[in-house]
Structure 1
Amino acid sequence: MLSFFTKPHLPVFIVDKNFILNALFKSTIYRHFCAGEDVREVKNTIINIKDMGFKGEVGVGVKELKEEGILPQEPTFHEGIEARRQGVLETASMLETGDFLALKFTGAGVGMKDALDTVCEKAMERKAGILINAEQQFVQPSINDIALSLMCRYNRGQAIVYNTYQAYLKSTPSTLGHLHCAKDEGFTIGVKLVRGFYMDSESRGLIHNTTQQTDDAYNNIKEGLLQRQYQDLRPDGFPKVDLFLATHNKQSALHAYQVQQQRAEAGLPLAKVQYGQLLGMADKVSCTLLQIAADPRANVPASPQVYKRLSWNTLGDCISYLFRRAVENRDAVMRTKIEYYALRKDVWRRTKKAIRLGVAGKY
């Protein structure tokens, strides 16, 4: 259904112009998956999730200036590119200590280079972080170069800038040769590890043949970074790694925590590890990690920090975003449905129990 409203053929189906559709979508999927339309609404959402124990990962407004990976060249896009740059700076102003700002480079324009330094400096001042999104492989090498340059400049001590590495790509183990750069240059490498974003648009030959191969690649990379043994790098001289595990897979997340716990108990060096899921999705994973963090028996240095990815913009722009994320996260969407039905069943069970107790109390 969402695909129909992303490119409506008639004005009556444009959600930002149709009052009924706007009210319907905003009170349902928009409220569940998106943080708001403006700074005030986003800040309120951040307060709400932090009250629940989560930390915030704020994405720049989800409106995009490109189609199918083609960079805009026409002068008519200049105003939009400047708006994008201002949106980055506006989003950066929302950051608080421990928050993350997620950045997407494609379509941002050459003016973004100056904004990057400003954003990184703001993040350093506020003890926050920058997550650079992965993109399609025809632009990713340039993004990797920018990310390495920023990490070398700003990641002195703890990581401020994180680059994203996609486990579903066959080339990712070699791309993680970036660890050697971190070792040689003496900076902390920030690694955001994901399974992958662009399965429907990437060349099939670049991607692992099966889901299991992708899962194995994700877990092998994760294990190597946590154990400080990856490829030809050994614990002695292993670079400092700060790791952000973006995963909706409960087993992957819990295994990472168990490795951290074991290393903490053995007195071994620990990587800084954070866990992230999308707002409104994989709440069972997120809440399980929060319960572990709240357990007084948990080893504090290994205690998980859990983030929720917040995306914001107008309802019309977010409809397109929600459709893309639904396509990219089919398995996670199915798990969200399963969680919904499980919660609905439990609410109905409790309601019937309350009714029975109420009736019994009258006699």
Structure 2
Amino acid sequence: MSTVLPGKPLTALARCTRPTRNVNTSISLRFTSTLQAHAQAQVKTAPSPTLPPLSALPARVLLRSLLVSTISSKRFLLIPALSLMSFLSKPNRIWLFDVDRNPLLHGILKKTFYNQFCAGENGAECRSTIREMKDMGFRGMILTYAAETVFDHSTQAQQGNCIAALKSEQGDVSVDAAVYQCPSIEAWREGTVETIYMTEAEDYLAVKLTGAGVSVTEAFAAGELPPQQMMDALHEVCTKAKDRRVRILVDAESQHFQKGIARVAVELMRTYNRDGYSTIYNTYQAYLKSTPATLANHLAVAKEDGFTLGLKLVRGAYMTTDERSLIHDTKEDTDNAYNMIAQGALRKNIGEFGDKGTREFPSVNLFLASHNKESVVAAHELHKHRVMSGLPTVPVRFAQLHGMSDEVSFSLLQMNDGDGTPEVYKCSTWGGMGECLAYLLRRAIENRDAVLRTDNEYRALKTEVFRRVKSVFSPSPSS
């Protein structure tokens, strides 16, 4: 039987898929039925191709997006906002400046930045957000728990609420003392398992492994696997996710930890990614000069060990804390690197792997996370062309962050021809206000650095608001 690739038009499957060995029949049938159901639902909920992409946004979300985008696109507003959020994110603030204890401060942030970029503070709020996203036409949600650790290369210091929690419980202890039954690992396990049960079939769980605390981050910094307690927790998480048909994206994090994180991801893929189906994805950051070599190594391991490589591709989000020399010199270089990997995977030709190389291309599932409209549209069009032409390709899905690049997301949804593709997701973080502040600060910094994209989003949102206001006074069938 042929392998059914998520993202392929069902009408083209018979002539576009190749016979493969050891294909799990139930997985193939499951993909067919879920994609058919999604195609039917998406036709009803996706934004109309005759209206602007942002027409699908509910009015309250549109107005909140415009408010946040106005702040992000105006430096005289953004700089003070960044300073304030950085100040509030520091631990051990007095009551007045504690976002979890001061109800007024909590309420202001909750109604603005938090609700714009985060899914909720508890299960009920998260499930409501997931349902709202799917009602707007998205294939599903990528959900992640907020706890993480960031290593600042300039200060050589680690920052993160998980480390603070561990030190407050055990004092400034050594790594060895924290290895066995580490409370931070247990808290990470509980929070991650809780996140799994907030998701639904075909959703994704994104995991930040550094959120498990100092014993884990020390292992990652040395390029080693984490303590056995953490590995046991990871296997429990993977098993529960697979049972619920939820996939796992292992997030890229600070380069100080990334070598160890990649080792964990490959170990998990070796166990759980079989029969052409990727339960686990590793994240590859295109802005790093080393990424092509890292990817080539993982492609070789996947081919040798016979597992499916889950390839999630991003540009990168740690420029302010990672060592600058590791990152491409220009944005253009990063864009070129991203497109080369994405389109190479879709053509099944990367480096020495594929028809143009000397080694057979391994089984790969591709996930493109990008706010760059040109990149994702080009990738979707290439994938569709290869499917319709009967050329070899790989499964592909797309994602943008919750609260960002909605115009890109809805533009992709409008490209649906009734076949369920492209499959578009939104990625969101959940957790308490204090837990999410570091994430919110990073999103604000990302908006500051992406000036052109932020300005484009602001103009698109403003245009959509004016269009709706105008339609109130001069209604027409198209509005």
For normalisation by structure 2, the TM-score amounts to 0.69
**Root-mean-square deviation (Å):** 2.4
User: Alignment partner for residue 44 of structure 1, among 96, 103, 128?
Assistant: 128
Q: Structure 1: where are the runs of 5+ without partners?
A: 359-363
User: Alignment partner for residue 375 of structure 2, among 252, 264, 279?
Assistant: 252
SS of equivalent to 1:102 = strand
The residue number in structure 2 matching 1:124 is 242
1:225 has 2:345 as partner: yes
Pair 170,16 (structure 1): closer, same or farther in 2 beyond 3 Å? same
Number of residue pairs matched?
353
Pair 24,224 (structure 1): closer, same or farther in 2 beyond 3 Å? same
User: Alignment partner for residue 196 of structure 1, among 296, 313, 316?
Assistant: 316
User: Alignment partner for residue 20 of structure 1, among 89, 96, 104?
Assistant: 104
Identity of aligned residues (%): 46
User: Alignment partner for residue 5 of structure 1, among 88, 96, 99?
Assistant: 88
Pair 107,94 (structure 1): closer, same or farther in 2 beyond 3 Å? closer
* Displacement of 1:310: 1.4
**Amino acid of the structure 2 residue aligned with 1:292:** M
Q: Structure 2: where are the runs of 5+ without partners?
A: 1-80, 172-177, 217-226
The residue number in structure 2 matching 1:355 is 473
Pair 90,192 (structure 1): closer, same or farther in 2 beyond 3 Å? same
1:151 has 2:269 as partner: yes
Q: Measure the CA separation in 2 of the matches of 1:20 and 1:265.
A: 55
The residue number in structure 2 matching 1:173 is 292
Q: Is the 8 A contact 1:250 1:285 kept in 2?
A: yes
SS of equivalent to 2:365 = strand
SS of equivalent to 1:138 = helix
Q: Is the 8 A contact 1:192 1:244 kept in 2?
A: yes
The residue number in structure 1 matching 2:221 is none
Q: Measure the CA separation in 2 of the matches of 1:189 and 1:346.
A: 40
1:138 has 2:232 as partner: no
Range moving further from structure 2, 70-79 or 152-161: 70-79
User: Alignment partner for residue 106 of structure 1, among 210, 234, 241?
Assistant: 210
Cα deviation digits, residues 247-302 of structure 1 (max 9, x gap): 00000000001111110121112311010111011101110111112x33xxx38x
Cα deviation digits, residues 315-355 of structure 1 (max 9, x gap): 22223320122224535576356434433344335434643
* Displacement of 1:23: 1.7
What does 1:315-334 align with in structure 2 at a 5 Å threshold? Answer: 315-331=433-449
Please identify runs of 4+ aligned residues in structure 1 that moved more than 6 A: none
Q: Is the 8 A contact 1:167 1:193 kept in 2?
A: yes
Q: Measure the CA separation in 1 of the matches of 2:365 and 2:98.
A: 43
Pair 340,208 (structure 1): closer, same or farther in 2 beyond 3 Å? closer
Range moving further from structure 2, 121-130 or 62-71: 62-71
Q: Measure the CA separation in 2 of the matches of 1:93 and 1:356.
A: 46
Q: Is the 8 A contact 2:142 2:425 kept in 1?
A: no
Q: Is the 8 A contact 2:315 2:370 kept in 1?
A: yes
Q: Measure the CA separation in 1 of the matches of 2:475 and 2:316.
A: 49
Q: Measure the CA separation in 2 of the matches of 1:64 and 1:353.
A: 45
**Amino acid of the structure 2 residue aligned with 1:63:** A
The residue number in structure 2 matching 1:212 is 332
Q: Measure the CA separation in 2 of the matches of 1:56 and 1:204.
A: 35
SS of equivalent to 1:242 = strand
* Displacement of 1:245: 0.4
**Amino acid of the structure 2 residue aligned with 1:306:** V
Pair 336,175 (structure 1): closer, same or farther in 2 beyond 3 Å? same
Q: Is the 8 A contact 2:149 2:158 kept in 1?
A: no
**Amino acid of the structure 2 residue aligned with 1:169:** L
The residue number in structure 2 matching 1:187 is 307
For normalisation by structure 1, the TM-score amounts to 0.89
Cα deviation digits, residues 43-96 of structure 1 (max 9, x gap): 111111111121334443213366646384753484344222210111122232
Q: Which has the higher contact order (CA 8 A, sep 6+)?
A: 2
Pair 223,342 (structure 1): closer, same or farther in 2 beyond 3 Å? closer
SS of equivalent to 2:158 = coil
Q: Is the 8 A contact 2:145 2:207 kept in 1?
A: no
Q: Is the 8 A contact 1:226 1:260 kept in 2?
A: yes
* Displacement of 1:33: 1.3
SS of equivalent to 2:120 = coil
Q: Measure the CA separation in 2 of the matches of 1:84 and 1:114.
A: 12
Range moving further from structure 2, 22-31 or 343-352: 343-352
Pair 233,114 (structure 1): closer, same or farther in 2 beyond 3 Å? same
The residue number in structure 2 matching 1:88 is 192
* Displacement of 1:17: 2.0
Q: Is the 8 A contact 1:194 1:246 kept in 2?
A: yes
Range moving further from structure 2, 103-112 or 168-177: 103-112
Q: Measure the CA separation in 2 of the matches of 1:337 and 1:16.
A: 32
Range moving further from structure 2, 11-20 or 183-192: 11-20
Q: Measure the CA separation in 1 of the matches of 2:321 and 2:150.
A: 14
SS of equivalent to 1:310 = strand
Pair 153,316 (structure 1): closer, same or farther in 2 beyond 3 Å? same
